[in-house]
Amino acid sequence: MSPSPPALPGLPPRATARLKDGVASIVLDVTGLDDPAADALEAEAQAAAQRAPGVREVRVVRTSERTQRRLIAVASGKGGVGKSTLSANLAVALHRTGRPVGLVDADIQGPSQPRLFGVEGIKPEARDNRMIPLDTPAGVPLLSMGMLVPAGQAIAWRGPMLGSALSQLLDGHWGAADPILLDLPPGTGDVQLTMVQKHRPVGAVIVSTPQDLALIDARRAIDLFEKAGVPIIGLVENMAGYTCPNCGSVSDPFGNGGAEDEAARLGIPFLGRIPLAIGIRTASDAGAPPAAGNGAEGAAFGAVAERIDAWLRAHGG
């Protein structure tokens, strides 16, 4: 029997090594660590190996098990209901609860998250053929379909190509991010069904305005997720109520309470209302999601995020 290779003292717990002919070969498990933590662990392992007698060269290989992150789909049956703005602000509000949330912008019809987070025009870097999510000023790591094509260019891709692109976004170096919000394109067609079946969200948040026409399409989105076996976390009523900045009177240009009534009829949770407010529009266009602040608009997103946080705690933490 050949002798075992000599061990190296002082290695961190996630490191295993062998020493042969003066070369220390270290295998480092970085599963679940973000980049700074993985870099620090590697530096510690290298320093320990270099202190060992007889070592003239150190080689490090990182390994990582695929982390099963929870995906939350944010969906609508139709466009124009403010789904992407809601997705951005929910991600920020969940981040403020202490959750290390990430965001994937899969809305091929209008990938607007880079604009909403103030990182428009910045391309993600890659390591080991995997993209590194962009750090945003709001603290939410982001990858977007809009980062894969030149600005202003339509994403005219067919199903298999779209599926591959989404897989690249979800397979990025997300570190400790969990959950990841998935801003889906509006509609209930083949693209949405393929995304849902392949990537299996743990739950779905449905966005609608109060008007009957939007609620008809919201029912279709709910039906799509139910048929795919994805739980409905709840329904959000967006653009609900407009307060005049001059006189303070409240009007309801899209109606009032329709989404809450529909949620009760369908037996699904109602997560709350987001007002139709110019402050939400101006802040979002400026790349500063209002959920990052302490104003009334931010509080509305915070209330919805608290209900989603409670749902997550009731379904695994």
Kind and range of the H or E run holding 86? helix 83-96
Kind and range of the H or E run holding 131? strand 130-131
- Mean of the pLDDT values across residues 116-131? 89
3-state SS track over 100-121: CCEEEECCCCCCCHHHHCCCCC
Give the distance from CA 138 to its chain's centroid.
13
Q: How far, CA to CA in Å, does 152 sit from each of 39, 83, 120, 155?
A: 37, 20, 11, 9
Backbone angles phi, psi at 144, to 5 degrees: -140, 145
- Which is higher by pLDDT, 21 or 34? 21
- Which is higher by pLDDT, 175 or 246? 175
pLDDT in tens, 227-260: 889 999 999 999 887 777 777 677 766 767 778 8
Q: What is the DSSP string of 158-217?
A: -HHHHHHHHHHHHTS--TT--SEEEEPPSS-SHHHHHHHHHH--SEEEEEE-SSHHHHHH
Sheet holding 15-20, edge to edge: 15-20, 23-29, 57-63
Q: What is the pLDDT of residue 291?
A: 94
Classify domain 71-314 at the CATH topology level: Rossmann fold (3.40.50)
Assign 313 a pLDDT band (cuts: 50, 70, 90): very high
pLDDT in tens, 139-156: 999 999 878 766 655 555
Q: What is the pLDDT of residue 187?
A: 79
pLDDT in tens, 276-305: 888 898 998 899 999 998 888 899 999 999
Contacts of residue 213, defined as CB under 8 A and 6 or more positions apart, other chains included, come to: none
Contact by Cβ (8 Å): 257, 210: yes
Residue 292: DSSP 8-state: G
Contacts of residue 272, defined as CB under 8 A and 6 or more positions apart, other chains included, come to: 236, 237, 300, 303, 304, 307
Contact by Cβ (8 Å): 172, 135: no
Q: How far apart are CA 63 and CA 216, in angstroms?
A: 48
Q: Tell me the two tokens of residue 16.
A: 């295993």
pLDDT in tens, 25-82: 889 888 777 778 888 999 999 898 888 888 889 999 888 766 678 999 999 887 888 8
Q: Identify how many contiguous H helices and E strands the chain contains and give both numbers.
A: 9, 14
Radius of gyration of the chain (CA): 23
Q: How far, CA to CA in Å, does 147 sit from each of 110, 153, 167?
A: 12, 11, 14
Q: Of 17-21, 28-32, 174-178, 311-315, where does mean pLDDT reach its minimum? A: 28-32
Outline which parts of the chain fall under CATH 3.40.50.300: 71-314
Assign 5 a pLDDT band (cuts: 50, 70, 90): very low
3-state secondary structure of 126: strand
The pTM score is 0.78
Residue 179 preceded by cis peptide, ω within 30: yes
